[in-house]
Amino acid sequence: MTETASTFEDDLITHMRANDGVVTSGPLKGHPLLVMTSTGATSGEPRRSILTWSRDLDDYIVAGTADGSKRDPAWFANVRANLDVAIEAGNRTFDPNATVVAESDRVRLWDQYVAALPWFAAYPEQTGRDIPMVRISPINK
């Protein structure tokens, strides 16, 4: 029997919480991950996403890589429709200011993202799309 995505996510989040947000084993070992809860653009229901991130000063930067899909991920449509998100990163849980990164800053942030997470470098060419990005700014830094 194959593990479902939600079971995998539940197990991964439990593991992250037990280890101060760090994945200590498996294929995601050592990857910087956070949990973002957004509101479904169509359903209005809470939607949880586990995302890699890089930093820009005190802000978290997440990218809509969709694991190399040719389409933007559903979480990005959710954030674009409603910027109210909740974040769990490491041992912190907070309600940030989230903003879709403007094209004028996206290239710089993508370069930083790829410097921190080089396995994503080929995604724009592989997907045939510009990878959208979201800035997550903690309100109480």
Domain boundaries, the chain: 5-137
In tens, the pLDDT along 14-46 reads 888 888 878 888 777 888 899 999 999 999 999
pTM (two decimals): 0.88
- Mean residue pLDDT across the chain: 91
Instruction: Kindly report each contact of residues 13-19 with a partner whose C-beta sits within 8 Å and lies 24 or more positions away, as own/partner.
Output: 13/48, 13/50, 13/88, 16/88, 17/88
Sheet holding 86-89, edge to edge: 46-52, 33-39, 86-89, 92-94
* In CATH, 5-137 is 2.30.110.10: yes
d(CA 127, CA 53): 19
Mean per-residue pLDDT, 91-109: 94
